[in-house]
Structure 1
Amino acid sequence: MPARKIAIVGSTNMDMVVKAERIPVPGETTLASQFFMNPGGKGANQAVTVARLGGDALFITKVGNDVFGRQASRLFDEEGIDSRFMLEDPELPSGVALITVDKEGENSIVVSQGANKALLPDDFTQPLLHELEQCKMVLMQFEIPMETVHFIARYAASKGLKVIINPAPVQELPGSLYPYIDILTPNKIEAGLLARVEIKDTETAKTAAGVLLARGIKKVIITLGAEGALIGDESGMTLIPALKVSPVDTTAAGDVFNGALVVALANDKPVADAIRFACRAAAISTTRQGAQASIPYYNEVIAGVMR
């Protein structure tokens, strides 16, 4: 039977969330209506999404020797995630994210990387690399060092794994990384910054996708929020519409999209169908509070369950 396991290499954070009327401007103090803490981190969110949607998830991450790291370990076990290669840094704390959510469900996020920034190529021992080779694809983000992303992308490509990169939080990609990327999944802000194109509508999104494809990436999928997602490859550009919902919190929507996308692709779904599935899962997540608390299960996505 062909491998269907999905490796997620990325961050684990504790999200500290406040809900307010609006996101404050620089120098402004506002009062919050709610405060709560949720397990998060782009890597962890995507790994939980893969597991809840029926995927076989191998999660490679690094946490601190603290209460947040121990809590994350228990959570991954409960979710059925293979976290044998969850590493612990003896000095740095676990990562945290400070999140403000406004009344429209939009958010502003500041991340303190903590142990995430110490997940380095030297951590990838031979047993870990051997386990990675048993996977069908690897999904990464940018809350870990770029040198690690580059190392894993190159190694995975050399072993025939598909490489999916969600370039968030956005930063400049080294030119040598592009040829190893099978699918790049920026949102419209990230795509605009990477391509140096101001994305105002679908047509400017197509322009940005074209710029990124010209750098050697095989497929670009730009998520456009309520408009859906644009896929660009050598065959052209296609817009996949989103499920219409009334969002309350968009915190983990991008992570849910990416996790759902790789689950569908690992099950050999055509890319357009995989994007439809991912758009549906992400839309449902925006109708719920929190990061991992908002991630739907497979039966909920199929049924279109909101709550």
Structure 2
Amino acid sequence: MDEETGADVLLTGLLFYDLVLTGLGKPPTPGEEIWTRGMGCGPGGIANLAVAAARYGLDTSLATVFGDDYYGTHCREILAGQEGIDLSLSRTAAGWDTPVTVSIAHDHDRALVTHGREPVHTQDELLHDPPPARTALVHIGAEHQEWLGKAAAAGTLIFADIGWDPTEQWSGEVLDQLSLCHAFLPNDTEAMGYTGADSPAAALARLAELTPVAVITRGRAGAVAVDQTTGEHAEVSAHDMAALDIDVVDATGAGDVFGASFVAATLGGWPLADRLRFSCLAAGLSVQRHTGALAAPGWYGIDQWWRTTGSNDPGLSRTYGFLTDRIPADPGPAPHHPPVTPR
């Protein structure tokens, strides 16, 4: 880590311990017991972004709160010991339970059930004086975070995502925070909800007025983006996504893998179209495995896909040929994936 520029990626947010159930024949209903064919576990929440970034060889610093329970200890060991993520800005809270999420994957999507309490330390407490960093990956919400303004003023490029509004009121005030951001990466439902637009294209046009780089993800329908700093517009279509022939096992954390991949490609100075294709590919590869964080492909997974699949298919090799000059000569060791039962 360079002392002057700091980490490549700075993150803060809520950490979860994720338990993912896959292989359901149908959704559960009250009073019914359903046996699943697969199960995996590992760190989740903000860990999804942190692991995905670290697996691209980026110096990654995470400020979060761990409970002093089994789940917190387990997540800390994986993030620091296994993934090499800097946790010096994080804290362990005595008597506080690490939030636990059960993710039920079904029909190319997932439902989440979570148990937990509000963290005992806010993001502003953890990052009262944010250290230097090239980029920061954050989830913005109704609560304004003072540290974001300090980081942006110091030159950190802020890449922001946003969560689902359970009230479905979609307050436009949340978008006021975009004045601090370099890029905003919501999904299509969130983008249309918060902008009041009736289509992803209209939402993108509105968001492009608020932040230099606007990206809208659309799941299996691809993604669309505009970069005001370069004048570029790019789209990955549903046809492009179908060509990848992805077998979805667990969609948990796919948006986070997309976001971390977009940051990695941005730091590499790639054209917008390549950034978007790369991010969609990485997210697609991640949903073929259990759990969000430990399913992130990293350079090793991208390299394996290119060698075994992408470069051997004429259509894919044309679309993703840019990878030949971008995959590192040494993509690193095979990443650790979560222990799972057969799906």
2:195 equivalent to 1:209? no
Match of 1:189 in 2: 189
Alpha-carbon distance between aligned partners in 2 of 1:297 and 1:211, rounded to the nearest angstrom:
32
In the superposition, the TM-score normalised over structure 1's length comes to 0.84
In structure 1, give the amino acid aligned to 2:191.
Answer: A
Q: Which of 137, 140, 160 lines up with 1:139 in the alignment? A: 137
CA contact (8 A) 1:45 1:256 kept: yes
Cα deviations by residue, 1:213-258 (Å, 9 ceiling, x for unpaired): 33x2222111111232100244364212434422222112111111
Q: Which of 212, 219, 228 lines up with 1:218 in the alignment? A: 212
CA contact (8 A) 2:157 2:182 kept: yes
Aligned ranges for residues 57-206 of structure 1 at < 5 Å? 57-77=60-80, 78-102=82-106, 104-114=107-117, 116=119, 118-126=121-129, 129=130, 132-133=131-132, 135-142=133-140, 146-147=142-143, 150-170=145-165, 172=171, 173-198=173-198, 204-206=199-201
Q: Which of 234, 238, 255 lines up with 2:234 in the alignment? A: 238
2:306 equivalent to 1:298? no
1:274 Cα deviation after fit: 2.0
Q: Relative to 1, partners in 2 of residues 1:221 and 1:244: Cα closer, same or farther, differing over 3 Å?
A: farther
CA contact (8 A) 1:64 1:114 kept: no
Alpha-carbon distance between aligned partners in 2 of 1:96 and 1:194, rounded to the nearest angstrom:
28
Gaps in structure 2 of 5+ consecutive residues: 310-336, 338-343
| Identity across matched positions, percent | 21
Q: Relative to 1, partners in 2 of residues 1:21 and 1:261: Cα closer, same or farther, differing over 3 Å?
A: same
- Greater shift, 169-178 or 55-64, is seen at 169-178
1:24 Cα deviation after fit: 4.0
CA contact (8 A) 2:93 2:120 kept: no
Q: Relative to 1, partners in 2 of residues 1:300 and 1:218: Cα closer, same or farther, differing over 3 Å?
A: same
CA contact (8 A) 1:231 1:237 kept: yes
In the superposition, the TM-score normalised over structure 2's length comes to 0.76
CA contact (8 A) 2:123 2:145 kept: no
Aligned ranges for residues 266-285 of structure 1 at < 5 Å? 266-285=267-286
2:26 equivalent to 1:22? yes
Gaps in structure 1 of 5+ consecutive residues: 199-203
1:94 Cα deviation after fit: 0.9
Alpha-carbon distance between aligned partners in 2 of 1:151 and 1:10, rounded to the nearest angstrom:
14
Q: Relative to 1, partners in 2 of residues 1:217 and 1:111: Cα closer, same or farther, differing over 3 Å?
A: farther
What secondary structure is seen at the aligned counterpart in 2 of 1:250? coil
Match of 1:201 in 2: none
1:58 Cα deviation after fit: 0.8
CA contact (8 A) 2:44 2:291 kept: no
CA contact (8 A) 2:68 2:94 kept: yes
Match of 1:6 in 2: 9
Q: Which has the larger radius of gyration?
A: 2
Q: Relative to 1, partners in 2 of residues 1:110 and 1:152: Cα closer, same or farther, differing over 3 Å?
A: farther
Cα deviations by residue, 1:72-103 (Å, 9 ceiling, x for unpaired): 1111121011111121223431121121111x
Q: Relative to 1, partners in 2 of residues 1:278 and 1:159: Cα closer, same or farther, differing over 3 Å?
A: same
Q: Relative to 1, partners in 2 of residues 1:124 and 1:289: Cα closer, same or farther, differing over 3 Å?
A: closer
Report the RMSD for the aligned CA atoms in angstroms.
2.6
Match of 1:254 in 2: 255
Alpha-carbon distance between aligned partners in 1 of 2:98 and 2:117, rounded to the nearest angstrom:
5
1:107 Cα deviation after fit: 0.6
CA contact (8 A) 2:234 2:276 kept: no
1:178 Cα deviation after fit: 2.0
In structure 2, give the amino acid aligned to 1:246.
Answer: D
Alpha-carbon distance between aligned partners in 2 of 1:28 and 1:96, rounded to the nearest angstrom:
23
Alpha-carbon distance between aligned partners in 2 of 1:300 and 1:253, rounded to the nearest angstrom:
15
Match of 1:39 in 2: 42
